[in-house]
């Protein structure tokens, strides 16, 4: 396909309501800035940092004074916080539908820890928090004539442990013989990829895809230890792209004509379907079924 140009290739978004998790910085903020230039009705950005949100909102308004932008406090590592964020969004009087949900926020190669609800922190943040948000917002998504959900995964999904997801250990900090932080990260990113496919299969009318942004020097990268940074530089220094370019794949997936998207597919930059690269665990329909049932049970009553 031709080189992607968001200025040219994002269509007019008049009337669209958009929700971006992690929209206060990094790829989420870059996505909001790209999309705002095409006149959506309202963009909601969630995150933990109200001051950062204020700065992004001001930056958006400098380029587009028409689109409304609202910050919603949300910590994906707390299911209570996610529920409150969804309730706040749903209660907005102007919200009648949700056209685009970009599940962008996440953490990477985190040290062993648990969420406030007792789940392994990368899995709890990257998958479970987003799964709850999607569950809460599904009625508004399905009220849209063209609902779109984009889940940010990573080529790091391939670092998942043998078997894909170690369900019995998800309420522990999960230790592995080697590469623990990256194994846990890969497990959570595999879950993002599988969840998009399950949503596409189970929710009529919803277009859901997973996307890899490329190798981007966001805060996630800069927060890594020196050894991890050197490893990434040594193996992928020539692939690094700017944060603005790193957002291209997700804004493409959020706005391209749905006829050009394989529902449930996994895409690498920009708009390149890469389902053929998936390993046996990533393709396993039984694993998708098990993840769906495990997640439904974990979120029961929320």
Within 10 Å of residue 80's Cβ, how many Cβ atoms?
12
Contacts of 205 (CB under 8 A, 6+ apart): 142, 147
Cα–Cα distance for residue pair 154/238, rounded to 1 Å: 17
Cα–Cα distance for residue pair 252/59, rounded to 1 Å: 21
Catalytic member of 16, 44, 119, 189? 189
Three-class SS of residue 301?
coil
Residue whose token pair is 């794949």: 249
Is residue 267 among the annotated active site residues?
A: no
**What DSSP element (H or E) covers 33?**
helix 26-36
State how far the alpha carbon of 246 is from the alpha carbons of 26, 27, 212, in Å.
9, 7, 9
Closest CA to 214 of 264, 164, 156, 262: 156
Catalytic member of 185, 229, 258, 259? 185
Structure tokens at 241: 């792209």
Within 10 Å of residue 210's Cβ, how many Cβ atoms?
30
Radius of gyration from C-alpha coordinates of the chain: 18
For CA atoms 21, 22, 25, 28, the dihedral sign is negative
Is residue 189 among the annotated active site residues?
A: yes
Q: Are strands 148-152 and 215-216 parallel, antiparallel or unpaired?
A: unpaired
∠ CA 16-246-86, nearest 5°, is: 40
Catalytically annotated residues: 185, 189
């Amino acid at each position: 396909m031709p080189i992607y140009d968001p200025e040219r290739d994002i269509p007019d978004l008049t009337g669209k309501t958009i929700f971006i998790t992690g929209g206060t910085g990094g790829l989420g903020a870059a996505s909001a800035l790209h999309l705002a230039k095409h006149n959506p009705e309202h963009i909601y950005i969630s995150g933990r940092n109200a001051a950062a949100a204020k700065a992004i909102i001001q930056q958006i308004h400098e380029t587009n004074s028409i689109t409304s932008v609202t910050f919603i406090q949300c910590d994906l590592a707390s299911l209570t916080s996610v529920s409150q964020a969804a309730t706040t969004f749903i209660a907005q009087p102007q919200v009648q539908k949700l056209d685009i949900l970009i599940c962008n926020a996440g953490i990477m190669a985190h040290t062993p820890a648990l969420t406030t609800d007792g789940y392994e922190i990368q899995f709890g943040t990257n998958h479970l928090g987003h799964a709850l948000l999607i569950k809460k917002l599904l009625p508004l998504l399905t009220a849209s004539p063209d609902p779109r959900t984009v889940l940010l995964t990573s080529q790091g999904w391939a670092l998942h442990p043998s078997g894909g997801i170690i369900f019995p250990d998800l309420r522990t900090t999960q230790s592995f013989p080697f590469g623990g932080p990256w194994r846990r990260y890969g497990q959570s990113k595999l879950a993002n990829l599988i969840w998009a496919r399950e949503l596409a299969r189970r929710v009529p009318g919803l277009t859901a895809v997973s996307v890899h942004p490329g190798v981007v020097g966001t805060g996630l990268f800069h927060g890594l230890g020196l050894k991890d940074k050197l490893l990434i530089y040594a193996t992928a220094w020539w692939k690094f792209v700017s944060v603005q370019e790193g957002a291209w794949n997700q804004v493409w997936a959020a706005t391209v004509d749905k006829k050009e998207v394989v529902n449930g597919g996994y895409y690498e930059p920009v708009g390149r379907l890469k389902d053929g690269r998936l390993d046996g665990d990533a393709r396993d329909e039984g694993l998708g079924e098990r993840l769906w049932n495990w997640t439904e049970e974990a979120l029961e009553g929320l």
